[in-house]
Amino acid sequence: MRRGRALQPERIDKMNGETNIVSTLIVAAVLAVIVFFIARRMIRDRKAGKHSCGAGCSGCPMSGSCHKQGKKA
């Protein structure tokens, strides 16, 4: 067996492909977790009566259709 034997080009390409797949899966998993927590926060806020606009409804053109009658933010 010789010392300092270089890797074969086919093997290098395979390792690069596997690295690309793993890194893609890691990024996809991180993004999925972020989207999950954002959606969860929005659902909890909606159930708690908070709205996404954040400001008062006096200047909003959709204020009449956004909230139920008798309930003003």
The domain limits of the chain are: 8-48
C-alpha to C-alpha distance for 1 and 13, rounded to whole angstroms? 23
**Hunting for tokens 């690069």 — which residue is that?**
16
Q: How do residues 23-45 score in pLDDT, each as one tens digit? A: 899 999 999 999 999 999 988 98
pLDDT-derived band at 47 (thresholds 50, 70, 90) equals confident
pLDDT-derived band at 48 (thresholds 50, 70, 90) equals confident
Q: What is the DSSP string of 49-73?
A: T--TT-S-STT-TTHHHHS-TT---
- Full-model pTM: 0.53
